[in-house]
Structure 1
Amino acid sequence: MKLIIGNKAYSSWSMRGWLACKQSGLHFEELTVPLFGEDWDDIRTSENFAPSGGKVPILWDGETVIWDSLAIIDWLADKTHRDRFWPKDETARGMARSMAAEMHSSYMALRKQCPMNTRKKYEGLQFSPEVVQDADRILRLWAEARARFGSGGPFLFGTFGAVDIMYAPVVSRFLTYGFQVPGFAQSYMQTILEHEWIETWMESAEDEPWVIERLETPETVKG
């Protein structure tokens, strides 16, 4: 398998696809391409990118191409064992799938106003009501998952799985933009940040030479 991802410092969806591949336990080749650089137009229309319309991540598995992080999770769950990604209990699994889908389709204010940048940390920011609403919703879901299904370990549903993969970039955003979160969320965020794969991703992001200027001073921190 070959996984094509964007800059690790900025690409939240790439992070999800990469973590999914790691969680699968299958061998994969990793190819990082700098997003929006001077060669970006040529890269995103190349043969490797064509099926996705120029989006990352893209997983090539033989002749099969899967783009979109949630689709990659499902593909790898089917190839390996669904228990690697989703809770065994059907009630927990129903909530986990709903949370993953909500992350996939929602929280537009948080995404737009607080783009992922693993190399930055801000303090004392004022967030729009829409961002606060997104963050509150996420924290409520984390709290419910931990309270109802988290007894088997420190992750949202006990053990590391698809939902943690989908929300890992949110942990990064909360850290970058200095969100004030309750104690249980601080503990969960620390658990994610100390996971060996997350640490590897963050270290690689620090070493990247590429900079996307518009993401270095997003709207949230201007003025």
Structure 2
Amino acid sequence: MTRTVLITGGTSGIGRAIARRFAADRAEVFITGRTPDTVERTAKELGVHGVVCDASDPGQAEACAARLDELDVLVNAAGGLPRTASGEAPALEVLLAQWHANLAQNLLTAVLTTTSVQDKLTSGSSVISIGSIGAERRGGSYGAAKAALAAWNASLSAELAPQRVTCNVISAGYITDTNFFHGQLSDERHRALVEETHNKRPGTVDDIAQTAYFLASPGARHITGQTLHVNGGAFTTR
């Protein structure tokens, strides 16, 4: 049976890798992004459906949801470090804009998208949100937004579990081949991030994609309300 999969932020990095993994399983995959040309090009390259959508906008989230009849897998992958311009604005206004941007991109995109498709989730559906190791250490407004994502996921899991819907967060560590650092990551910082891991390698987008694929599989039906840390041991739990 063909599954229907929606992946926000699916045009690059982790979201694109997850879309590629589900497409390889012959799922009907929908990816979203904010830039029409990028959405169209990526959808064509992956053989999936492209939807232009800013998931932090309620109207656009609802319009995207309206394209779906039923949804088996939702992956909230939209997010990242927003670029905020300071200009001549007062310091507190700059700070407020930074926090608003991080909350919008890294928390509200998931909340709005999930809520907009909630009545389309079926018994056995999976909701997967992409978190970050930044929620555990010196993450600033970005880390705070990702920590809030995990807290929201726990309550969402309790709400949707009676419908046999699982809800989990994948907390990603340092992942290469993304535009997260906007090209500003130094070689020294790269080495330091790798050194923090136990296995002495950076994560890859495929590490996260395979984890997402597992969480949407029959073998993960009793895993819900969890934050799974995929970081090579850079942050550990017990």
Bigger relative contact order, structure 1 or 2 (CA pairs below 8 A, ≥6 apart): 1
User: How does the TM-score come out when normalised to structure 2?
Assistant: 0.31
